[in-house]
Structure formats: structure tokens, C-alpha cells
Structure 1
Amino acid sequence: MRGGNTFHGKAFWTALACLALAAAVLSLFCGRYGLAPLSVVKAVLGLAEKNMDANIVLSVRLPRIILTLLVGAGLAISGAAFQGVFQNPLVSPDVLSVSSGAAFGAVLGIMLDFSEPVHIAFALVMGCVSVFLTYSGARVHRRVTVLSLVLSGIIMSALFNALISLMKYVADTETQLPAITYWLLGSFAATTYRHVMIVVLPVLLGMAVLLAMGHKINVLSLGDEEAASLGIDPYWTRIGIIVAATLVTAACITVTGIIGWVGLVIPHMARLLVGPDHSRLLPASVLLGAIFMTLMDLLSRTLLATEIPVGVLTALIGAPFFMFLFHRQAGMGS
């Protein structure tokens, strides 16, 4: 233990990795369609006696679990990176309007009756475009400050949310409106390996960049002048981190819809466990995010007879838990 409330060492990281694996295995064995544990094992090994068992395990549950691990890890590390860059623990991945921009792209694709791959592409493109617009709007006298960037993000989020509301108002109530509403709630339902392939490259690439930037995020917290004196260009370093975190967030949102609170709550949990050092905070956020999202998805499909959108569960659990963390940290600081 370090600093009275943080952990370090191989045992801690091994335990977190094992918990992530255990959550994935538990999710593989559990579901609304009852399968004996031996049937699941046989399906994974390619020895399933029934084609139905193999199809459920390999084509339904397995890609869904892989996606929950990737999305949970991606949203969590993006949130931790944004909080470090902006030096604000209340910042989340949608601070630069990436969530609302991606949502607008997906809703636009649904409104135009495009196929799923097309509206996924719309969401990814608009998520990146929204960040570009946010950054452009934040330029004041050829400078971009953290405050102007956050304010510009709030403005762009409000604009995209207004456009989404307008499209919901004019959408066909029989087909388009239900599809839009369900997508905005966030869900892993109907996940296939195609969704995994869409997410895996940008998420892993973005996470690799962010993990490599852990030390530089620590230096940025000392101030731009101190960072420059240590040989780090604060402007381009901050841009690189924002681009990587945006890529990860946009890729996740395009296939799942809006899943809130993960990028806000998980970094706080990680900070309580490993402290503020981003070289440990970022990997801890990856593992905790993967665990949290996998368990939330498991609850979403087993808690009731009908599946609950996972975005609803993360909000129901994340909001009060964040309040608990907030009061705990405030009490420790007083």
C-alpha cells in the first residue's frame, strides 16, 4: 500500500486481470438460455453435441463478451486520460462533444434508412467531426486553453443534442423513433463479430497510445511551463492524447450507443486504488472498466425476463456510486 490507500505490485495487477477473466467466464456461462457448464466448455473446445449450444456460446455470447471488455476498457481509459489532460476529475469522454456527435451521426443514418454498417460509419465520422468543430470553436486569438475547449465542448454537445431532439420529433413513430430511442439508451444486444472487428483496431491502437502517454500526462499536470522545461511540448502532447481518447470513445459509441458514467466513475475507482500516477491509473482503468462493463452487461440480460439496455444500468448504478466516491474523497480531503 502506498499513500495509505493505494496498491501496487504484481499481486495487485494479477488480481485485477484475474477478476476481468473471471467476469468474462461468468458471462459466458450465464444467460437467459440455460446451458450446462459442460455444454459451454464443449462448445468452446469445438466438441458441442448440439449445434444450438455451439451457436449460442460462440456466435452470441462470445462476441458480446469480447465487445463488453473492449468498450468498458476503452471508455474507462478515455475518461482517465481526459481527466488528466484537463486536470479536472469531473471530466468524462463526452467533454469534447464526441458522444453527442456520434449519436447525431447514428440517428442521421437511421433517419435516412441506411443499413447498420452505414449508420455506424456515420456515427464514427460525426464523433470525430464534432471534436474538430469543438477544437476549432475553442481557438481564441490563435490559442486553445483548457477552459475554452471545455466550454466549446458544452456548446457543441448542446447543439448536437438539439439536432437529435429535432430528428426524434420528425421521425416515423412506427419504425425510426423506436430504433433511435433504443440506440440512444446503449446496448450490446445483437452483437456480432462484425461489431467486434469495427471496434478492435481503433480501441487497441488508441489505448496503446494513451498507455504510452501516462508519464506525459503526469508532467502536464505540473503546468505547461514546467512540461516545456522538461522537454515535452504541452500543445502537441495534449492534442495527441485528445485524438487518441476521441478515437477510442467514438469507436465504442458507434456500435453500442450512448453508455454513460463509465468514463467518469471508473477512473475515480482506479484513483482510489492506485493513486494519481497515470502510469498506473490508466492500466488500472482499463482492467476495472472491462470488469465493470462485463458485469453490467451480464446483469442487463439476466436481471429481468426482457433485456435492460446497459446504458440504463450504468446510469442507475454509476450515479449513486459516484456520489459515494465524491463524498468519500471529500471526507478524506478534509
Structure 2
Amino acid sequence: MSGVWALRRGSAAAPPQWPLWLSSVLLLGLVILAFMVGKFPISPGQLLDVLVARLKGAAAPSPVETVVFQIRGPRIAAAIVVGAALAAAGAAYQGMFRNPLVSPDILGVSSGAALGAALAIFFSLGAAAIQGFAFAGGLVAVAVVYAVGSAVRRHDPMLTLILAGVVIGTLLGALLALIKYLADPYNQLPAITHWLLGSLASITPSDLQLAAPLALAALLPLVLLRWRMNLLSLPDDEARALGVHTAALRLAVVCAATLMTAASVAVSGVIGWVGLLVPHAARLLVGPDFGRLLPLSMVFGACYLLAVDTLARTLAAIEIPPGVLTAVIGTPLFLWLLAAARRGW
């Protein structure tokens, strides 16, 4: 029962509050910066005037107001929602699988969403249908993976889920490659490639109305079960001895994390590294206690994706896909975290 005593000692320690406060201030600064920079620069005074006028209900139509509320506002909000959701899902999956290399797409949700979106593009459906197919594809993929893992009961359930996710993800990747091979190389194939690289450029308020409520609904179980999540880091027999139904808890975590990931991928495309890198950085500061790790991971994820998206639209004359920048920036950061992390993850 040494794991139990270690867990109790970690829970009794006073949690450091400065990382959460500092990251929240950083997020606020990044939001202001994201509103100001771009092809149409906005000064701090103009931004303040537009916000005050909107609060007073006296805002008159102007180019600045259009840029703030119709173009950059939805995009900034989407970066915050998607980044926070992917980071929360990554923290939940890493804690549940007791594996620091797990990311939100470990169970095939990204592969299923990519296949669903590619099918919608292949059949020349509209933007709403593409998002709906992507969302449904992610949920169906994880449902198949979990069904396979539940059917093979004689093996370790955690290992079985990971292996099933790898196998189903490979199959979905092969089907996606087939669709790309059959797609029109002048219209459909570029659209599929663009979606797979991820983008927040075409986000609209209606997209946020779809993704934000689903992400918040999926976040609620993780918040309510945050203390039980710590027990998943123990062996199953010790967790059951403490009164935790591990199978039901894993199912709840998988459903919540999958719903957050599918809602995010449906509106932004496949954006990697957020769910893998950000929980490591948060864990380095506050430790593995899920009650502290979850909020800090969400704020870190929002900061990271918002910074990447701001760079993506300002670094060059053409917009760089965020999926490319997350990998370019995430690789050296992850290597640095590996070198700086404690020996016992």
C-alpha cells in the first residue's frame, strides 16, 4: 500500500497557487495581443474604445468593430476552447493510462474524425456536414475501440485499450489514405489536406455554439471525479480496496475525454501536441494530483494554442497551419521537459 501513502502525502501538501495565477495573467495578455496584431493592426486605444462601446450598447459599425467581434473574436475564443479541451483530455488520458506518452488521439478519435471529415468532403457536403461527420466519426471510432477492449477481458484492460486504439487507428488511417487517393486532386484533395493540418481561420460564432457547450458538458464529469482520478494511478486492486469501481470510472473518463476531443477536432481539424505536451508542463509545476493538474493544464493549453494561432497568422504573408507550428514548437519544448522533469513521473 505504499502507493496509497504516497498519494495521501501528495494530497496533504499545500498546492502552489502561483502557476495558475501567473498562467491566467499570461492568457489575458495573449488575448489582448491576439486582438491587436494581424494584417489589420489595432491599437490598444482602439480596442478599448470598441469594447467600452459594445458594453454600453452604443457601438457603431466600423472596420475595427468588425475585425474584433466578427473575425478575431471567434478565432481567439475557439483557440481558448480547443486548447483547453485538448489539454484537459490529455491530462485525463495520461492519468488514466498511467502513461506520460498518451495523447487525446490514443483511442482513435482523431483518426475517426479525420475519416468522417474526409468522407464529407469527398461527397461534396457543406461545412456543417463536415463538422458533423468529423464529430460522429471520432465518437464511433472510440466506441469501436472500447468495445474491442471490453470484449478481450483476459488481458490487461489498459494495455488492451491502447493496442485496440493503435490497430483501429491504423485501419482508419488506411481508409483515409484510400479516400485521398480517390479524391479529385484539384478540389477535394487540397480541402482534405487543409483540414488534416488543422486551422482556426474559418471559425464562426455558430462553430463555437457547437463546440463550447459540448466541451463544458464533458468537462463536468472530470471536475466532479477529480479526486477519484488520483486513484486510477494506483493498481486496480488497491483502487478497488479504497471503494472505487475502476471499470465504471474509466468508462466515464473515456467518454468525457472523447467528447471534448471530438468536439474540438470537429471545428478545428487535427491539431496535435497540445494534449501531449501541455499536461507534462503542468505536471512539472503542480505534480500529479488531478485536482490541481486539470485547471492548470486547461489554462496552459489555451495559452499554447492561442500563441501558436497568433504566430500562424502573423509570421508570414500566408497563414501557416497551426498543426505544423505545434509540432515545430512542441518538439524542442517536449525534449526540454523530458530533461527537466523529475525522475519519477
Q: TM-score, normalised by structure 2?
A: 0.91
Deviation of 1:49 (Å):
6.1
The reply on whether 1:23 has 2:30 as its aligned counterpart is yes
Distance 1:141 1:48, change over 3 A: closer
SS of equivalent to 1:93: coil
Matching residue of 1:136: 147
Deviation of 1:234 (Å):
0.3
- Structure 2: gaps of 5 or more residues: 1-8
Deviation of 1:326 (Å):
1.6
Deviation of 1:226 (Å):
1.5
Matching residue of 1:242: 254
Matching residue of 1:105: 116
**Separation in 2 of the partners of 1:296 and 1:141?**
42
The amino acid across from 1:70 in the alignment is: V
Matching residue of 2:90: 79
Matching residue of 1:312: 324
What pairs up with 1:274-313 in 2 under 5 angstroms? 274-313=286-325
Matching residue of 2:283: 271
Deviation of 1:36 (Å):
2.5
What pairs up with 1:10-49 in 2 under 5 angstroms? 10-45=17-52, 46=54
Of residues 37-46 and 303-312 in structure 1, the stretch that sits farther from structure 2 once superposed is 37-46
Deviation of 1:202 (Å):
0.9
Of residues 9-18 and 110-119 in structure 1, the stretch that sits farther from structure 2 once superposed is 9-18
- Structure 1: gaps of 5 or more residues: none
> Do the aligned partners of 1:216 and 1:232 also contact (CA within 8 Å) in 2?
yes
Deviation of 1:119 (Å):
1.3
Deviation of 1:53 (Å):
1.4
**Separation in 2 of the partners of 1:92 and 1:76?**
9
> Do the aligned partners of 1:134 and 1:156 also contact (CA within 8 Å) in 2?
yes
**Separation in 2 of the partners of 1:93 and 1:288?**
16
Partner residue of 1:198 out of 207, 210, 213: 210
Deviation of 1:209 (Å):
1.6
Task: Render the CA deviation track for 1:274-312: whole Å, top value 9, x for unaligned.
Answer: 011111111110110011111111101111111111111
Matching residue of 1:230: 242
Distance 1:12 1:324, change over 3 A: closer
**Separation in 1 of the partners of 2:299 and 2:324?**
22
The amino acid across from 1:105 in the alignment is: G
Deviation of 1:262 (Å):
0.4
Matching residue of 2:66: 55
The amino acid across from 2:76 in the alignment is: I
Question: What is the percentage of aligned positions where both structures have the same residue?
Answer: 42
> Do the aligned partners of 2:35 and 2:42 also contact (CA within 8 Å) in 1?
no
> Do the aligned partners of 1:7 and 1:274 also contact (CA within 8 Å) in 2?
no
Deviation of 1:237 (Å):
0.4
**Separation in 2 of the partners of 1:7 and 1:30?**
39
Partner residue of 1:91 out of 96, 102, 108: 102
Task: Render the CA deviation track for 1:124-167: whole Å, top value 9, x for unaligned.
Answer: 11100000111122221477700010000000110111111111
**Separation in 2 of the partners of 1:144 and 1:225?**
13
The reply on whether 1:174 has 2:176 as its aligned counterpart is no
Matching residue of 1:151: 163
> Do the aligned partners of 2:270 and 2:323 also contact (CA within 8 Å) in 1?
yes
Deviation of 1:256 (Å):
0.5
**Separation in 2 of the partners of 1:231 and 1:141?**
22
Deviation of 1:228 (Å):
1.4
**Separation in 2 of the partners of 1:273 and 1:192?**
35
Of residues 136-145 and 282-291 in structure 1, the stretch that sits farther from structure 2 once superposed is 136-145
> Do the aligned partners of 1:42 and 1:48 also contact (CA within 8 Å) in 2?
no
> Do the aligned partners of 2:16 and 2:286 also contact (CA within 8 Å) in 1?
no
SS of equivalent to 1:122: helix
The reply on whether 1:261 has 2:273 as its aligned counterpart is yes
Of residues 250-259 and 207-216 in structure 1, the stretch that sits farther from structure 2 once superposed is 207-216
The amino acid across from 1:137 in the alignment is: V
**Separation in 1 of the partners of 2:260 and 2:99?**
20
Q: TM-score, normalised by structure 1?
A: 0.94
